[in-house]
Amino acid sequence: MMNDSEGLANQGIQRILELSADAHIRRRGTVKDSPEFHSLSGAIAAYGKALELLTAMQELEEFYAMIDQLDVPASAQPVC
């Protein structure tokens, strides 16, 4: 489950993976080419796009954490 010490992006990734897995399981139990099958297929595709975005956010979190560890002067850090 989610931990407070995990980054926000990582928490989102974990939740999206859970939702996607549930949708895959439910889709396997539906009739192919039924409206529910297509609805679940669309949801699964949307989860994939959300994962792409959250993965990029996670990489940024990791990058900024690395910058913080390098003790870079404040004048060289990005403005948020």
pLDDT averages per 10-residue partition of the chain, 80 residues: 60 93 96 95 96 88 83 66
The model's pTM is 0.68
pLDDT score recorded for residue 76:
66
Name the DSSP class of 78: P
User: What pLDDT is recorded for position 42?
Assistant: 97
| Domain boundaries along the sequence of the chain | 8-76
8 Å CB contact between 13 and 54: yes
The C-alpha atoms of residue 71 and residue 67 are separated, in whole angstroms, by: 7
Q: Residue 69 carries which side chain, given as an amino acid letter? A: Q
DSSP conformation letters of 29-71: TS-TTSHHHHHHHHHHHHHHHHHHHHHHHHHHHHHHHHHHHTT
So what's the pLDDT on residue 2?
A: 43
